[in-house]
Chain A
């Protein structure tokens, strides 16, 4: 598969440290929620760097959105956040991935567990769920440091009755917060995710350490390893 031209149609802040890039991709064949793309940047002298980004938009939407969280000292994310403007052309390969995906036809129950920017593929799944009018039961447990770091407020604010979103704050919680705080250990998971008896399809996405700790705890709680799909972003995410 070759690299396609992607024209930046809009860039907008998604949180204090993250930006949403809306792309029009030449010859885009459509995608499945959960897939990602590889973005390639090329300097004047021919040097190239590429990074993977999950697709945030739903398959039903005409343009492809990515949400990029800035990583201090990073080579690519600070550029995407501060320098990319509407009208710029990037190169993209995708959609990629046939494993970490969910379509309405797969039904539920579905348990999504995100750490930080690992929520991005779930924004696509939830928007797809809404636009498809799916009646699958979906739960999202979204771990983030601080309330102001939340990504995807648009999508998360208009989920239907079959979808339940739970936030867990590891650093600071909103005043009067009664929900989970701290790390997602087996105790927090037992209380806030679909138990193994409901046989959910579970998706875990985020920094490598987060994904491995959560997946390990889920197995400890009796979830079948093959029912858990993971996507590790590396530890810089």
Chain B
């Protein structure tokens, strides 16, 4: 069995797509994310996610710079506080159903 001391238990952005649905209406794992630090671009699902931290930290797979930070804390009142720092994302390009288009 692997232990908790395994270094760098990183996941990929796929695992961030669920939590992001608390804030966004579409699944962002296939959206192309461009890094503010190095301009590297890759699907959000292919970026690197550090989940064992006070918040989820998504890092650029090219330069390891922070792309975004995200947390959601639910309170006993039934309300959750969502915090999102998107400052490391220079651009996000997603393909969504066009307004009015039938599916």
Contact = CB atoms under 8 A, between A and B. Distances in A.
Interface in B33-64: 43-46, 51
A201 to B, nearest CB: 14
Contacts of A169: none
A1 B26 CA distance: 9
Given A93-B18, A229-B46, A236 B2 contact: yes
Given A100-B14, A232-B15, A235-B6, 19 more contacts: A1-B21, A1-B22, A38-B18, A38-B19, A72-B1, A73-B4, A97-B14, A99-B14, A99-B30, A99-B43, A99-B44, A99-B46, A100-B45, A207-B2, A209-B6, A230-B12, A232-B11, A234-B10, A236-B6
Contacts of B68: none
A97 B12 contact: no
B30 A98 contact: yes
A164 interface: no
Q: What size tier do the contact residues of chain B reach?
A: 20 to 34
**Across the A-B interface, the 7 shortest Cβ-Cβ residue pairs:** A99-B45, A98-B30, A1-B21, A235-B6, A38-B18, A72-B1, A99-B29
Interface size class of A (residues with CB under 8 A): 20 to 34
A96 interface: yes
Contacts of B21: 1, 93, 96
A214 to B, nearest CB: 14
B1 A71 contact: yes
B74 interface: yes
Nearest to B28: A98
A15 to B, nearest CB: 15
A36 interface: yes
